[in-house]
Amino acid sequence: MCTPNDKAVLHALFNPNVPFGNFDEQSPGDIEDNEDLDERFPPALLQQVCALERNGVEAAECGDVKTAILRFNEAIVLLPGRASAYNNRAQALRLQGDVTGALKDLDRAVELSGAKGVSGQKALVQRGLILRLQGNDDAARKDLQKAAQLGSAFAKQQLILMNPYAALCNNMLRDMVQKLHQKELNAETHKDVGDDRDA
């Protein structure tokens, strides 16, 4: 049984480009990109693969990662040239702790998508996050920059967080706002004390 919080966390893994908490507005996973690349696949086969991926995402959202991986494997066997299933399987592998397998699938998704479209964007974001967690900030920054150029707001946020100057500016701005707020409180306190003396 999935709690709403479990679904939100899993959704964030499968949909890194969507702001956290907006998962009800989006379709699950990377299954219906409507990318031009999908037009090269036979429609009936594509529909079958999308259904398998949808089942896999639903299984993962409910904690059944083994079934999710099986569904993504089936989708990959049917359409090995489609990036989406590799991207989704990578997320399931991450949930299992198989970071090496996830990176391999994300590399394949980036290759198949040509680092373009929704599948490419999602694979770049996910790979960038893994690389960042591994301490490979240069490679992570490159992936996130490509994803940001493709329109990923999440990737743009991550790039800002990785910028030491932005962090420094944010800290300075926070300190300045706190000092201004404190001055306003002090002025209010002195004003109230002065008003009491006049009375």
Burial label for 179, CB within 10 Å (0-12, 13-18, 19+), is: exposed
Give residue-wise pLDDT tens across range 99-142: 999 999 999 999 999 999 899 999 999 999 999 999 999 999 99
Whether 18 and 54 map to the same domain: the answer is yes
- Domain of 153 in residue numbering reads as 4-162
Say if residue 137 is in the same domain as residue 192.
Answer: no
Assess whether 127 and 64 both reside in one domain. Answer: yes
- What are the pLDDT digits (tens) for 155-191? 988 888 887 666 566 667 777 888 887 888 887 776 6
Query: Within this chain, do residues 146 and 190 fall inside the same structural domain, yes or no?
Result: no
* Model confidence pTM above 0.85: no
Domains held by the chain: number: 2
Decide: 89 and 107 in contact? Cβ < 8 Å: no
User: Is the domain of 170 the same as that of 125?
Assistant: no
- Verify that 39 and 71 share a domain, yes or no: yes
